[in-house]
Each structure stands twice: as C-alpha cells, then as structure tokens.
Structure 1
Amino acid sequence: MKDEIIKLIQEYDRIIIHRHVRPDPDAYGSQVGLGELIKNSFPDKRVLLAGEEEPSLNYLARLDEIQDEDFKGSLVIVCDTANEERICDQRYLTGEKLIKIDHHPNREPYGDIMWVDTEASSTSEMVYELYEAGKSEGFKLNNDAARLLYAGIVGDTGRFLFPSATNRTFEAASELITYQFDRTELYEKMYQIPLKVAKLRGRLLTDLEPRTSGVAVFRINQEMLQEYGVTSEETHAFVGIAGDIQEILSWVFFVEEEDVIRVRLRSKGPIINNVAAKYNGGGHPMASGAKVSTWDEADELVKDLEKVCLEYQQKS
C-alpha cells in the first residue's frame, strides 16, 4: 500500500492534503508533516493544505486558501480521518484520485487507495514510515516535517504514556529528534493552558464523584463555558485529567455546544469505542468521540459506559 501511495505522489504535480474537523496535533502533524515531506522531496510539485484553521494549533502550521479549480486533476490525500463526514473541506471529493491514510478502525472505507493501520500510535507515525519506505524513491525529510510528525506522535500517545506507544513509535521518535527543532518550546506550546482553562479543570476535579462502576462523568454546559470564558475547543486540553486517578477506569466528557453535546470518552482498560459507535461516533478502543442531542441521551450513554466497566471488572 505504501508503494502505491508513493507512486501516486510521484505521478501528480498538484497534491491537496486534508484532515478531520476539530483537529488535534496528530491531525495537523500528519497533514502538514506529509505536505512538508512532499515539498522537500519534490520542490516542483504544488502541495496545498486544506481545511479551516484551528487557532490553538497555529504554532504548528498555517494552512492554505484553495480555489475550487485547484482540485481539478489533483491527487487528494486525507489524513487521520476515519469517516467522510468528519473530513474538513468537503471539496475533497472533487479531486481526480483519493487516498485515505489513517490509524482509526476502518468502519467507513473510502477513497481509491486506503492505508489503514490500527496498530500505529498515530497517523503521524504512519507518515514517518511512508518516508522510510520512500527514501529510495527520493523522499527527503527536513526539520519542519520532523517537528510536525514528532508533535503528532507526542499528542496521540500522551507523551508516550498511552499503550498505543510501541517499539515502532519509539523508533520513529528516536529518528525524528535527530533533526533540528526545539523540543522544549514545542512541549510548552502543546501543553501550556490559560489560567481560565486551569480554573475550569479545577472545578471539574473538585466536583468529581467516582462511581462504583469506575466511571467518572464530567458535564460542561453552556453556562459553565460562559462563566469561565472558555470555548468548547479549549476543553480538549484537559480531556485526560482523570487518567491518573486510581479509582477511575473510564471517564466521559460532555461539552454542550449550540446544536449538539460533544462527547469525549477515555478508558484505562474497558473497550469503549463500541459505546461511542452507538452514539454517532467511534474511534480507538480506549479513546473515542461521539455526540448526543440531549442530556437525557447523555444519561443513557453513561449507563452504557457503566455496563461496559462493570463487565470489565467482573472479568478482571
């Protein structure tokens, strides 16, 4: 599959790269890291980065403004996006050829070529392996690409703490850090949060009451967001705050937006992506997302999550 992707990259003069809406560091890292890799390897090619910018990730990269005509006859690559609904900039369908590169479960196949590896820690790790496979074909990594791919790997492995970080992850990271970029500065920009976000996180922890099931529930409504002056996107910065608490097996964040309640699910053992799939979502076995329409539906999701955790405890 990597060889087929390499051949198409060599073949096309214009390549447009997408990623998912509501991006995280791996979305940017894989999308822009791949873009930098291609531009550095083949300077004569025109490489465009599609999608709406996320201001909190501007420190990683800035994206391009793309015209409709740019898609005609182009190779389109979508990174880190399991299903078509979540692809940022739906013009991806108007290109000539479509490639999917992703590490989420392939519940919704799409594209002319699909490279899906659920064993990879991140899509950024996969892009690094594409570089390794393409060395003999002229692929050249530079400092900017290395920085972006490293950021994507760090983001999706929780600084290498998650079980998804494997030997191949550390091998990729060990090579990427040989390039010239400031890791200390990168970490600071990735993990520093505003005081207002820290205060909201503190309130959530203060109010936390773990259940006998091992589930922790965090509900953030519109009033709380307005009280602390925090956006829905900024709450993503502390989605992992329950991971260090001994009594908690799994936790769920509900964040109320104008037209939907976003759901973020995390686990330290129980498989939770089937719960996410039941509620308009999906993802990894221990890190998934979903969405519900009402707080009553949120309560139903919590019941399903508790059932999964209780079954996990019985088997342990």
Structure 2
Amino acid sequence: MQNDIIQAIKQYDTIILHRHVRPDPDAYGSQVGLAKLIQANYPNKHVYVVGEEDPSLMYLARLDEISDEVYDQALVIVCDTANEERVCDQRYNNGKQLIKIDHHPNREPYGDVMWVDPNASSTCEMVYELYQASSDWVMTDEAARLLYAGIIADTGRFLFGNTTERTFESAKELVTYDFDRQELHDEMYRVSLNMAKFKGELLRTLECRDSGLVVFKLTQDMLEQYEIKPDETHAFVSVAADIEGVLAWVFFVEEDDVIRIRLRSKGPVINGVAEQFNGGGHPMASGAKISSWEESDNVIQALDDVCEQFE
C-alpha cells in the first residue's frame, strides 16, 4: 500500500492534500508534513494544502487557497480523516485519483487507494513510515517538525496507551533534525489566562459517578463567560486523566445547533457508545454529537454501563 501511494505521488504533477474539519496537530502535521516531503523530493510538482485555517494552529503551517480548476487531473490525498463527511473542503472528490491515509478504524472506506492503520499512534507516524518506505526520499527539518508535532499531540506526549515501540522509533529519528522542540512544545501547550481559569471551573463543576465515569457539561453560557470558543475546548480533553478512580470521561460541548461529545477512556472501550450517537473513533478516544441536553442522559447511561462492565 505504501508503494502504491509513492508511485501515485510520482505519477501526478498536481497533488492536493486535505484533512478533517476541526483540525488538531496530527491533522495539520500529516497533511502539511507530507506536502513538505513531496515538495522537497519532487520540486517540479505543484503541491497544495487546503482547508479552513485554524488560528490556534497557524504556528504549525499556513494553508493554500486554490480554484476549482486546480483539481482537474490532480491527485488528492486526505489525511487523518475517518469519514467523508468530516473532510475539510468537500472538493476532495474532484480530482482524478483519491488516496486515504488514516489511523482511525476504517468504518467508512473511501478513496481509490486506502492505507488505514488503527495500530498507528497517529497519521503523522504513518507519514514518517511512508518516508521510510521510499528508496530515495529525503526528510527536511520542517517536515520533521510537523510530523513530530502530530505524534506528540496524539500520544499526549507519549503518555497515552497508543504509544508503541514504533512511535518511539519514529520520534527518535525525527528529533535528530534541526527544529526547536522547546519552542514547538511551548506553542502547543501555551494557554491564555482565561483558559487557565476555565480549567479551574471545569474541575470545580465536574460530576463523578459511581461507575468511574466523569462528566463535564460545557454550556454556551459557560463558554461565553470565560470567552472560550467551542473548538478551543479540545485543549482540556485530558483534564481528568490523572484523577484517581476515573475509568472514562465525557465532555459535552454546546454549540449553536449541536452538542458535540468528546469521549476518553483509561480502559473501557467507548467507541461503541460513540457509534450509537452519530460518531465513532478509537476504542479509548472517540467523538459523537447529539441535538439536545435531554439526550445527554442517554449517553451518560450508556457510558455508565460500559464502565460498570469493565474488569
């Protein structure tokens, strides 16, 4: 599969890379990191990275704006996106060939070529392994910075259970390149004063249940009080990880027309619950969505059941 992707990259003069909406460092890192690798190794190709920019991730990269005509006869690569609905910039299907590179469970196959590896810690780890599979590609400092960022973000700085020997092998090689790791870490984990206060509010108002589940309900009023955007709440997703006795936790984040759900676990498999509520993801890290607070009781009950059955 890796060789098929490399051969496709060699074949096309125009290559356009996409990733998912509401991006994180792994989405940006794999999308732009792969683009940087292609540009460095095939300087005569036209390579674009597209999608709506996230201001909080502009320290990683800036994206391109291209016309519809650029997709004609182009190779399109979608990184870190499990299902087509979540591809940022829905023009991704307008190219001549479509490739999917992703580390989420392959619940919704799409594309002419699919490389999906749920055992990988991140899509950035997979992109690094794509580089390794090539016989003559060179790594660049900037590509290494982007791929490293995605790996440490999706592994929680190597603390999450998805961290494996292959993760450390990739990181070990990437840190040999010339980029400022301290500056990168500072950018990734810096928070504003209002976000620091908001974290305190989260801890003050969390609900601990007998099952080992912790519930966070982030209403629009609460977000407005602390001047927090819904997208920024992803920075707090691991806030319950170190609390003694916690098996899993759920964030309900109220937006204008939907309540988004972030699920995390230290043992119980929770992606089945996500799939019941318009979502999916990894066994220990998933997402879903509901349309009303009344439905949150059903989500909590389903998670309670999973935690109570965990041994």
Category of TM-score, reference length = shorter chain: over 0.9
SS in 2 for 1:213: coil
2: CA distance, partners of 1:209 / 1:252? 10
Name the counterpart of 1:31: 31
- Cα deviations across residues 207-243 of structure 1 (Å, max 9, x unaligned)? 2231110000000011011111110011111111000
Aligned equivalents of 1:66 and 1:246: distance in 2? 49
**Partner Cα distance (1:59, 1:175) in 2:** 22
Equivalents in 1 of 2:208, 2:285: separation in Å?
19
Q: How far, CA to CA, are the matches of 1:140 and 1:86 in structure 2? A: 31
Q: 1:287 & 1:111 partners in 2: Cα distance?
A: 24
Describe the superposition over 1:117-164 as per-residue Cα deviations: whole angstroms up to 9, x where unpaired: 010000000000000001x1x311100000000000000000000111
Among 298, 301, 304, which residue is 2:299 paired with?
Answer: 301
Deviation at 1:185, TM superposition (A): 0.4
Partner of 2:193: 195
Cα distance, 1:204 vs structure 2: 1.2
Partner of residue 139, structure 2: 141
| Residue matched to 1:90 | 90
Partner of 2:278: 280
Query: In terms of mean alpha carbon deviation, does 197-206 or 64-73 score higher?
Result: 197-206
Q: Secondary structure at the match of 1:218?
A: strand
Q: Tell me the SS of whatever aligns to 1:175.
A: helix
Identity percentage over the alignment? 63
RMSD: 0.6
SS of residue paired to 1:47: strand
- Give me the whole-angstrom Cα distance separating, in 2, the residues matched to 1:293 and 1:103: 28
In structure 2, how many angstroms separate the alpha carbons of the residues matched to 1:156 and 1:208? 24
My pick for the range that moved more, 101-110 or 232-241, is: 232-241
2:8 — aligned with what?
8
Shift of 1:166: 0.3
**Distance in 2 of aligned mates of 1:115 and 1:27:** 15
Quote the Cα distance in structure 2 between the aligned partners of 1:284 and 1:103: 9
TM normalised by structure 1 equals: 0.98
1:103 maps to what in 2?
Answer: 103
Matched, 1:19 2:19: yes
Match of 2:125 in 1: 125
- Any residues of structure 2 matched to 1:200-279 within 5 Å, and which? 200-279=198-277
SS at match of 2:208: coil
Unmatched tracts of structure 1, length 5 or more? none
Q: Does 1:292 align with 2:282?
A: no
Q: Is the 8 A contact 1:210 1:247 kept in 2?
A: no
Q: Where does residue 163 of structure 2 map in the other structure?
A: 165
Matched residue, 2:177: 179
Conserved in 1, the CA contact under 8 Å of 2:18 and 2:77?
Answer: yes
Question: Do the aligned residues in 2 keep the contact of 1:214 with 1:249 (CA within 8 Å)?
Answer: yes
Deviating runs (4+, > 2 A) in structure 1?
Answer: none
**Contact 1:28–1:152 under 8 Å retained in 2:** yes
1:70 match:
70
What is the distance in 2 between the residues matched to 1:185 and 1:92?
33
1:311 aligned onto 2:309: yes
User: d(CA) in 1 for partners of 2:75 and 2:138?
Assistant: 20
What is the identity, as a one-letter code, of the residue corresponding to 1:105? P
- 1:212 and 1:183 map into 2 onto residues whose CA distance is 41
Alignment match, 1:50:
50
